[in-house]
Amino acid sequence: VVDGFSPHAVGHRSTLCQREATTTSFDDTNVDTVDVTTTSKEKLFVEWMETDSLEEVPYPGRTLEVKGSIPSYVKGDYIKNGPGAFATRDKSQRFTHAFDGLAKLQKFEIDGSNNQVVFTTKFLDSQLKRGMLDADPPFMPGHLSVGPTDPQIGFFPRLMAGLDVYNTCVNIEDLSSTGTFVANTDATFKTQFDRRTLETIGHSPPPKIEGASPFGLGIFSTAHGKVAKRDGLTYNYVCEQGLETWCHFVRTNADLTHTSIGKVPLNDGKISYVHEVSVTDRYAILCLYPTFVDVAATIRTGSLFPQVTFDP
């Protein structure tokens, strides 16, 4: 979180020094240097998303050698989330989609006045991480994934594992500016972590939403909630599935409760895949595209993206 920038912009696509449109050249398999002169965002993103790195650098972190010069006005903590490993420790099983990589946080404590960067990185704790990296022998628990696994996990192992989507590897949020930092995905499951140490604090199941049916289950959301300038609260989309299907626009309140401020029925039962929402001073904006998710097939096969279809 760099002074002067919204903490809600911090995520896997953020830049280090936004005012000069530069990015960090950094691979946490080599945690001794950081290059702040590189400008090829596409090259860096591809390299990061294709790299396995099992090394963790615990708090209080490691001071890096800085190549280049950091503007003196940049001071604060830059935190990002993303995949850190794509296979079990023995490489016997692996993911086939980048968004399934094990969630790993990286923190850069930046002091531009001293041209100094201190680096910390840690995997978020989850059933998936413990099975793939800590168990002996390692194994891939039967959780829901974005893409198929290699080899594919059978139906019954996935059934025994239950609905586990706590590998929250896409983005981070400070919920309604309360200092409650969570990692998230396009599911409503969230992982709270300590901003200072990056240690996992706990997991949050799908929220209870005031204004939604007590019998509905809201699983689908977006990883990119938006903060309204007028009240500083976080707004997002949640799809409620039950006897009826509804799309809710949900506000996370300062006490971390959730309120539906508007909803749209899906009379045909088709569930749109929604990437993000928007808010203005007066309006909450939700676009439902003709890109649909087959929920039953997702649960049956264990992977999401093969069950997404475009039907205009």
Among 242, 267, 251, 269, smallest CA distance to 211 is for 251
SS3 207: coil
Q: What is the DSSP letter of 230?
A: T
Write down which residue in 176, 205, 234 finishes a domain. Answer: 205
Q: Among 41-45, 133-137, 304-308, where is mean pLDDT lowest?
A: 41-45
Token pair 């940049």 is found at: 74
- 3-state SS of the chain: helix, strand, coil percent to 5? 15, 35, 50
Q: Are residues 109 and 193 in the same domain?
A: yes
Instruction: Give yes or no: residues 197 and 89 share one domain.
Output: yes
Last residue of a domain, one of 188, 205, 222: 205
Lowest model confidence (mean pLDDT) among 62-66, 245-249, 296-300: 296-300
* 3-class secondary-structure state, position 128: helix
Q: Is the pTM of this model over 0.85?
A: no
Residue type at 72 in one-letter notation: S
On whether both 193 and 215 belong to a single domain, the answer is no
Same-domain status, 280 and 131:
no
- Could you give the number of structural domains in the chain? 2
CB-side neighbour CA atoms (13 Å) of 52: 12
Is 221 in the same domain as 303?
yes
CB within 8 Å of 45: residues ≥ 6 apart:
13
Per-residue confidence band for 156, with pLDDT thresholds at 50, 70 and 90: low
Q: By C-alpha distance, which of 88, 101, 71, 103 is closest to 4?
A: 71
Q: Does the annotation place 203 within a ligand binding site?
A: no
List the domain range (segments joined by +) for residue 118. 1-205
User: Do residue 253 and residue 164 come from a single domain?
Assistant: no
Other CB atoms within 10 A of residue 18 CB: 14
Domain boundary (171, 187, 205) is at 205
Are 199 and 242 in a shared domain? no
- 60 with 91, same domain: the answer is yes
Residue 275 assigned as binding residue: yes
